[in-house]
Amino acid sequence: MQHRGAILADGKTGDGCGLLLQKPDRFFRIVAEERGWRLAKNYAVGMLFLNKDPELAKAARRIVEEELQLETLSIVGWRDVPTNEGVLGEIALSSLPRIEQIFVNAPAGWRPRDMERRLFIARRRIEKTSAGRQRFLRL
């Protein structure tokens, strides 16, 4: 990202620009299998950026789970995303959130677009529910 000036003066902290890639199905299935989880044919993985405070993170997880379950999606499990804090600059380290993934299965018979619609609805409700709560949850 240096080529577009997206690095702060410490030379380590980026601006958070991300790339959208295809879901790494094989990788996620291996991750699930290692944990004893069964992923349906139609599943999703949500990336969440939670507050480092354990109680705030727990409250955020509860909201996410409740909203997904309202859309009849099944929670498979939560995964802490491995990070290497040693490569981060001071600025990035000071604002580093707790990074977790949630694995969710769709009911049998749902088409991918059915799940996408339900995930979108759940996400909007999660955003509205957590709005105004400083550093509570980012999707």
Task: Burial-class residue 41 by CB neighbours within 10 Å (0-12, 13-18, 19+).
Answer: exposed
Of the two residues 92 and 67, the one the predictor is more confident about is 67
- State the DSSP string of 66-80: HHHHHTTPEEEEEEE
Inform me whether the pLDDT recorded for 38 exceeds 50. Answer: yes
Residue 85's CB: how many other CB atoms inside 10 A? 8
What pLDDT, on the 0 to 100 scale, is given for residue 69?
A: 97
7, 61, 103 from 68: Cα distances, Å: 36, 11, 11
CATH assignment of 25-138, given 3.30.390, 3.30.70, 1.10.3470, 3.30.300?
3.30.70
Q: Which long-range contacts (CB under 8 A, 24 or more apart) does 77-80 make?
A: 77/32, 77/35, 77/37, 77/102, 77/103, 78/102, 78/103, 79/31, 79/35, 79/103
Of the two residues 94 and 46, the one the predictor is more confident about is 46
Q: What pTM value is reported for the model?
A: 0.81
Confidence tier at 10 by pLDDT (50, 70, 90): low
Confidence tier at 1 by pLDDT (50, 70, 90): very low
State how far the Cα of 121 lies from the Cα of 117, in Å rounded to an integer.
6
The residue among 45, 60, 47 whose CA lies nearest residue 104 is 45
